[in-house]
């Protein structure tokens, strides 16, 4: 039995062994190493389609890992300092949902910031848990939601001593971290679990100059988007658990919704990405931080733009900042973030991660090179020269609109409802999600009261060209609201 | 012994040059640099295996990049050369006494170092007191200057690899901003012949058209480049390359050239029908 250490990649190695055996496939997938779908083979390449195979003895099975997948999970757990790691193939959405479903049941409360990803709210529709929102601070200048103050979390815990868990974004999409360690201690002191959405925090595990990771802070579970900063294929992810969680229970929850035909392309990409991070992550993320710092300096030198960083840190609602996130406020060049986002794509062939009302986010990772950074900075300089306006008048800042939760997301989602024109919904209870995507943070979730401010926000975001998703009516001219007798 | 340098001009076409000996091979931070001696083309420089210049035909490229704009613009004092670490463009520029300052922006110091050692026929004017060499990404360099130059010459490598940023909208836009109100930009514009090069050529033209009020292309025959048929871009805020050509003034300078004449200047802007078609397609899009 070979020694397992971070230089090995058990799934990848098993696939290589399997390939050299030239096994004749009379099992699924039916394309049979690509032969049955030559156009697909031409597009993806022979190596790729020949690795698209099914679970079998030499390759283990994700639903019940006993050999190479178990070894790969063990190595991932070691690399991330977790008690257990689960390889996930349904995106970080599935990791987040499994995490929430493992922690709370129907009717139980979970304390969380309102700027959670839609997947968290989706999990609540599935299981019937009730959200207790902690009001995140909002930065007035930037118009972005910050982290949770420890005192606010404490207040929520004291007001809801029956809550089962606290969920924390580590970090937010914009790179902002709460004091996770203090929140973990607080939750544990009150017998609650602490869960972390680390969709944007994979790299925290691999460099000491980055904010503290969930496992280091003692959190009970963390959903880690390996495919974002970690370098694995899109849709692959990790769910990490701490020593207080039963891995068997979490596995059962995962298997409720996870495919029984897990893709080996995704699994091997997780395995190889984990090895790469364990061996070279520190050096690579050091380089990413340098590039991000350089880009921030150059962008701030253009004038008008504000590429923000650690100066936001205030010891509480901004406890730490992830400097690999290149977030830039655009309001002072007289353009909304979403407008800059569109100009970069349409005029300069540059696709960035998202633009909201006042900011853009360029995602930097281990795949970036200085020459692409130069293109981004030069394009921003040109956007300002060609399209910038002297005044930011008429631009709306994103403001935190405190939600009024009238009924649980699950109840609202399944209750009898009617469809009303957007403007006639003020005062009614929404029964569906409304989101700007990205970043995919809900503006409305099922069970929340619709207000005039919310309608104004939706109309403005639509006008500026934000892509709005969620409602049954794709144009969002109508919204589904609860029948009055349910309200 | 047979030693051949081969460059694939397309996946299905190759040019081979018999090599007498290899003089240098090195890997810089940006690219692989090689220098060879050959019977037919004399000494030649390749970057990442792509032909940059040969002793035998470099005069065509360098004369066409420099004398065309210099015969049009009446008063060039400040020049920016982007790329061109081999010094060929600077050599031609230094023949004009009225030019006061030349900024040469080359990303790769090792290219200049190797050229100085092996290609003295192109680097001979790099030490001219008017020349200032900056080792920097050209895209970054042009972000700062505003209306500072009369002429910008973009002597780039191909639109893939380290030179990619020099074929972008943001680069041409920044060049336009760095030029004075009567400034001219001349750029290496690829070949219109083979399919992939033609697409790059068309894209570059589209982006220049979007950034300058006047954008024309002109051509030359360069035997060592893919297809031999090469284009250059002439983009300007004011001067027209033919209407503002001052033949008398240029010929009075009595500069001796091996390729450029004011007669050829006029002919170079008469391009083949299929190239006109290729370029017109992106011009009318606006």
Domain boundaries, chain A: 7-59, 63-266, 280-387, 409-482
Q: Are residues B101 and B214 in the same domain?
A: yes
Q: What is the ipTM of this complex?
A: 0.88
Question: What digits encode the pLDDT tens for the residues A78-121?
Answer: 999 999 999 999 999 999 999 999 999 999 999 999 888 889 99
Distance from CA of B246 to the nearest CA of A (A): 34
The average confidence (pLDDT) of chain A is 93
DSSP codes joined into one string, A347-392: HH----SEE-SSEEEEEP-TT--HHHHHHHHHHHHHHHHHH--S--
Do B85 and B183 fall within a single domain? yes
**Of all residues in chain A, what percent carry a pLDDT higher than 70?**
97
Predicted local distance difference test score (pLDDT) of residue A115: 85
Quick check: B139 contacting A, CB < 8 Å? Answer: yes
Mean pLDDT of B95-113: 97
d(CA A442, CA B190): 49
Locate the chain B residue with the closest alpha carbon to A370.
B137
Answer yes or no: are the C-beta atoms of A183 and A153 closer than 8 Å: yes
Q: Reply yes or no on whether the pLDDT at A398 is more than 90.
A: no
**Token pair in block for residue A254:** 């995962």
| Closest residue of chain B to A344, computed from CA coordinates | B170
Res B264 pLDDT > 70: yes
> Cβ B169–A371 below 8 Å, yes or no?
no
Domain identity same for B44 and B70: no
Which range marks the domain in which residue B32 is found?
A: 4-53
Q: What pLDDT digit, counting tens, does each position of B47-75 carry?
A: 999 999 999 999 999 999 999 999 999 99
Q: What pTM, to 2 d.p., does this model score?
A: 0.89
> How many residues are given for chain B?
286
Contact assignment for B140 to A349 by CB distance below 8 Å: no
CA angle A263, A125, A163 (to 5 degrees): 110
Residues B17 and B72 in one domain: no
Q: Which phi and psi angles does A320 have, rounded to 5°? A: -155, 165
Statement to judge: residues B66 and B48 lie in one domain:
no
Count of structural domains within chain B: 2
- What pLDDT, on a 0 to 100 scale, did the predictor assign at position B286? 46
Does B18 share its domain with B152? no
Hey, are the CB atoms on B168 and A375 less than 8 Å from each other? yes
Q: Do B178 and B226 fall within a single domain?
A: yes
B58 and B94 in contact (C-beta within 8 Å)? no
Same domain for B68 and B49 = no
- Hey, are the CB atoms on A378 and B177 less than 8 Å from each other? no
Question: What is the gyration radius of the CA atoms in chain A, in angstroms?
Answer: 23
CATH code for the part of the protein at A280-387: 3.90.1150.10
Looking at residue A400, its pLDDT comes to 65
**Cα-Cα-Cα-Cα dihedral of B279, B281, B284, B286, to 10°?**
-90
For A47-79, how does the pLDDT look when each residue is reduced to its tens digit (9 = 90+)? 999 999 999 999 999 999 999 999 999 999 999
Residue in chain A nearest B162 by alpha carbon: A371
Q: Right CATH number for A409-482 from 3.90.1150.10, 3.40.50.300, 3.90.100.10, 3.40.50.2300?
A: 3.90.100.10
B155 is catalytic: yes
Q: Which two tokens stand for residue A28?
A: 């699924």
CB A262 within 8 A of CB A55: yes
Asked if the Cβ–Cβ distance from B174 to A382 is below 8 Å, we say yes
One domain, residues B101 and B47 = no
Regarding whether B98 and B40 lie in a shared domain, the answer is no
Q: Looking at the complex, does the CB of residue B183 fall below 8 Å from at least one CB of chain A?
A: no
What CATH number is given to the structural domain containing B237? Answer: 3.40.50.150
pLDDT tens for residues A202-215? 999 999 999 999 99
Q: Is B165 on the interface with A (CB under 8 A)?
A: yes
Give every CB contact of residue A35 below 8 A, 6+ residues apart in sequence. Answer: A41
CATH placement of domain A63-266? 3.40.640.10
CATH code where residue B9 lies = 2.30.140.10
**Residue whose structure tokens are 């479903």:** A101
How sure is the predictor about B163, in pLDDT bands with cuts at 50, 70 and 90?
Answer: confident
Q: Are B271 and B155 contained in the same domain? A: yes
Residue A439 has pLDDT above 80, yes or no: no
Residues B40 and B158 in one domain: no
Q: Radius of gyration of chain B from Cα atoms?
A: 18
Q: What are phi and psi of A111, to 5 degrees?
A: -95, 130
pLDDT at A437 over 80: no
């Amino acid at each position: 039995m070979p020694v397992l250490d971070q230089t090995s990649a058990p799934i990848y190695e098993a696939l290589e062994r399997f390939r050299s055996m030239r096994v004749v496939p009379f099992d699924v997938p039916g394309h049979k190493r690509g032969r049955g779908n030559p156009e697909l083979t031409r597009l993806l390449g022979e190596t790729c389609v020949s690795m698209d195979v099914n679970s079998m003895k030499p390759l283990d099975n994700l639903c019940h890992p006993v050999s190479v997948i178990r070894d790969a999970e063990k190595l991932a757990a070691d690399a991330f300092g977790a008690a257990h790691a689960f390889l996930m193939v349904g995106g970080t959405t599935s990791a987040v949902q499994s995490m929430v479903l493992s922690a709370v049941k129907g009717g139980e409360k979970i304390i969380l910031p309102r700027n959670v990803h839609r997947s968290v709210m989706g999990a609540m529709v599935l299981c019937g848990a009730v959200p207790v929102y902690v009001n995140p601070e909002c930065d007035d200048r930037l118009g972005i939601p910050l982290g949770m103050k420890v005192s606010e979390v404490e207040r929520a815990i004291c007001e809801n001593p029956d809550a089962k868990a606290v969920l924390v974004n580590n970090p937010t999409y914009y790179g902002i971290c709460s004091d996770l360690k203090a929140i973990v201690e607080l939750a544990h002191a009150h017998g609650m679990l602490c869960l972390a959405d680390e969709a944007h925090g994979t790299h925290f595990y691999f460099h000491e100059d980055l904010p503290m990771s969930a496992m280091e802070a003692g959190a009970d579970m963390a959903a880690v988007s390996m495919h974002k900063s970690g370098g694995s294929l899109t849709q692959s992810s990790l769910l990490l658990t701490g020593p207080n969680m039963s891995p068997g229970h979490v596995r059962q929850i995962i298997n409720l919704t996870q495919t029984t035909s897990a893709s080996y392309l995704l699994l091997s990409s997780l395995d190889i990405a984990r090895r790469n991070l364990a061996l070279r992550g520190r050096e690579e993320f050091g380089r990413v931080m340098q590039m991000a710092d350089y880009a921030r300096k150059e962008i701030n030198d253009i004038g008008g733009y504000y590429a923000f960083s650690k100066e936001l840190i205030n010891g509480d609602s901004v406890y730490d900042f992830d400097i690999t996130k290149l977030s830039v406020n655009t309001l002072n060049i007289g353009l909304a973030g979403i407008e800059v986002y569109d100009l970069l794509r349409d005029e300069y062939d540059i696709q960035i991660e998202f633009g909201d009302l006042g900011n853009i986010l360029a995602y930097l990772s281990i795949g970036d090179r200085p020459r692409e950074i130069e293109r981004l900075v030069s394009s921003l300089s040109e956007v300002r020269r060609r399209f910038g306006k002297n005044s930011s008048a008429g631009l709306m800042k994103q403001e935190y609109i405190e939600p009024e939760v009238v009924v649980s997301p699950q109840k609202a989602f399944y209750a009898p409802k009617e469809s009303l024109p957007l403007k006639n919904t003020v005062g009614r209870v929404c029964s569906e999600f409304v989101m700007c995507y990205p970043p995919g943070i809900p503006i409305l979730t099922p069970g929340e009261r619709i207000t005039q401010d919310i309608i104004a926000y939706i109309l403005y975001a639509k006008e500026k060209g934000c892509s709005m998703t969620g409602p049954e009516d794709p144009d969002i001219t109508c919204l589904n609201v609860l029948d009055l007798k349910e309200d | 012994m047979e030693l051949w340098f081969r460059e694939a001009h397309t996946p299905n076409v190759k040019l081979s040059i018999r090599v007498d000996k290899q003089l240098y091979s090195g890997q810089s931070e940006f690219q692989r640099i090689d220098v060879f001696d050959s019977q037919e083309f004399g000494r030649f420089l390749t970057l990442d295996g792509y032909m940059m210049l040969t002793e035998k035909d470099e005069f065509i490229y360098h004369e066409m990049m420099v004398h065309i704009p210099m015969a049009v613009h009446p008063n060039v004092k400040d020049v920016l050369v982007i790329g061109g670490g081999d010094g060929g463009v600077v050599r031609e520029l230094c023949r004009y006494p009225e030019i006061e300052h030349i900024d040469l922006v080359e990303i790769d110091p090792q290219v200049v170092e190797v050229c100085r050692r092996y290609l003295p026929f192109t680097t001979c004017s790099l030490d001219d007191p008017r020349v200032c060499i900056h080792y920097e990404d050209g895209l970054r360099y042009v972000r700062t200057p505003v209306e500072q130059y009369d002429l910008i010459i973009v002597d780039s490598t191909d639109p893939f690899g380290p030179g990619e940023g020099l074929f972008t909208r943001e680069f041409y836009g920044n060049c336009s901003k760095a030029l004075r109100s009567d400034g001219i930009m001349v750029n290496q514009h690829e070949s219109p012949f083979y399919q992939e090069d033609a697409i790059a050529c068309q894209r570059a033209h589209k982006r220049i058209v979007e950034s300058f009020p006047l954008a024309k292309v002109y051509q030359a025959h360069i035997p060592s480049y893919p297809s031999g048929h090469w284009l250059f871009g002439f983009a300007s805020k004011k001067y027209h390359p033919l209407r503002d050509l001052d033949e008398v003034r240029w010929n009075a300078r009595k500069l001796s050239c091996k390729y450029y004449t004011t007669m050829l200047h006029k002919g170079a802007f008469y391009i083949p029908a299929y190239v006109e078609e290729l370029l017109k397609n992106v011009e009318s899009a606006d």
